[in-house]
Amino acid sequence: MQRKIKTQGRELFFRESYEESRDAFRKAVDHHQAPVQSFACSALGPDGGPLTVDCAMIGGNHAANLVMLSTGLHGAEGPLGSAVLLQFLESLRLDESLNNTRFLLIHSLNPYGHAHGRRFDAENIDLNRNFLLPEESYSGSPEIYQTINPFLNPQKPPQHFSGFLFNAAYYIARYGFQKVQQAIAGGQYDFEQGLFFGGHTASETKQIVEQNWRSWIGDVRRVIHLDFHTGLGKWGTYQLLSNHEFSREHQAELQTHFSHLPIMKTQENNIVYQTKGDFGHWCHQQSAEIDYCYLNAEFGTYGPLQMLRALRNENQYHHWFPGVPNPEHWSKKNLLEAFCPTSEKWRNQVLEQSEQLIQQAVRYVRSE
């Protein structure tokens, strides 16, 4: 099915900017004689150019199995997602070994964040906290978040020395690491300029996904959906996260095909936290009548405090720095490094693993 890619040199799949990533994606899809569907967002790129969510369906129209690869929900995580798709398209050979299988590739679910080097969209929304179900409301925030809001979201430009570690250590000692992490990253709907804000309403991205979900799924019988993320877990390796409880049989089946067993976010553990408005949970709810499986492929970069510090500084810069935004500002560069390290070793390693992961997903969806 796939042409072998050399272990080294994979870093060439990473592009400098959102525009270059998108152009390369469109070209690579064109090479497979497939159309690209582009959905425009109202915000613009740093140079005033359009921002789009780009999707490509490759393979038989009436295939029973679908491999969905989505990327860039958290803008600044888009460079890895884009590299994953470019590598996949480069190696893809549609032959009889893939009959009855098609691929839906989604490039940059948050093009604003990808283009502007932010985790959030143009409305400061963390899109993985925005996919609420109809019975849920865009309101409320954890008590601990309210208490530590002045520390998390200072209303002034970022400073190199701001006592971040000292304050973080204080709150961790007071509440415990897990509780603080859950309160901060679980999602909040009160502080519009704060970190992990889930929005007051459905985001543009959620609307695009909602409007297209039915046609993307079509009449397939079985779906494996890999959603690529970075910034949580150990450097240069990945975890598969799910917000959905699998049955014992389903777990056993996943275990036979995937080298990493999925971790349920609902389980008590000290790495993962539960989130409201989770994209995967929403997708799962839309697909009750088919055999649908969502896995968040989360590739680790730096430690949680370093990640939080990078997010906090960039958020302060975005909202409180006077004057014209400068993409070269240290807080912007630190954020990009946090979510997509420049280390060649990291880049090669994660792309090698993502290639294996996609192969496992293909075998899984085609089994039975």
Q: Site residues (CB under 5 A) for Zn ion?
A: 74, 77, 229
- 3-state SS, 52-113, equals EEEEEEEECCCCCEEEEEEECCCHHHHHHHHHHHHHHHHHECCCHHHCCEEEEEEECCCHHH
Residue whose CB is nearest to Zn ion in the complex, by number: 229
The Cα 209–Cα 132 span in angstroms is 13
110 versus 349: smaller Cβ distance to Zn ion: 110
Strand partners, 291: 222
Q: 311 is written with which tokens? A: 């997010």
Angle between helices 143-152 and 177-185 (to 10 degrees): 80
Minimal distance in Å, beta carbon 162 to Zn ion? 25
98 versus 132: smaller Cβ distance to Zn ion: 132
Yes or no: say if 231 and 339 are a contact pair by the CB < 8 Å rule: yes
Minimal distance in Å, beta carbon 312 to Zn ion? 16
65 versus 110: smaller Cβ distance to Zn ion: 110
Minimal distance in Å, beta carbon 265 to Zn ion? 13
Closest CA to 226 of 106, 115, 113, 89: 106
For the chain, strand residue ranges (E) read 36-44, 50-59, 65-71, 101-107, 222-235, 238-242, 263-264, 291-300
The Cα 316–Cα 260 span in angstroms is 37
The Cα 29–Cα 108 span in angstroms is 15
3-state secondary structure of 299: strand
Minimal distance in Å, beta carbon 77 to Zn ion? 5
Minimal distance in Å, beta carbon 8 to Zn ion? 27
Distance of alpha carbon 103 from the chain centroid:
18
Minimal distance in Å, beta carbon 74 to Zn ion? 4
The Cα 294–Cα 131 span in angstroms is 14
129 versus 222: smaller Cβ distance to Zn ion: 129
The Cα 272–Cα 166 span in angstroms is 23
Minimal distance in Å, beta carbon 184 to Zn ion? 14
Minimal distance in Å, beta carbon 311 to Zn ion? 11
Question: To which H or E segment does residue 316 belong?
Answer: helix 304-320
Minimal distance in Å, beta carbon 229 to Zn ion? 3
Maximum Cα–Cα distance for the chain, whole Å?
Answer: 60
Q: Is 178 exposed, middle or buried (0-12, 13-18, 19+ CB in 10 A)?
A: middle
Q: Please give the backbone phi and psi of residue 98, each rounded to the nearest 5 degrees, phi first.
A: -115, 15
59 versus 262: smaller Cβ distance to Zn ion: 262
Minimal distance in Å, beta carbon 122 to Zn ion? 17
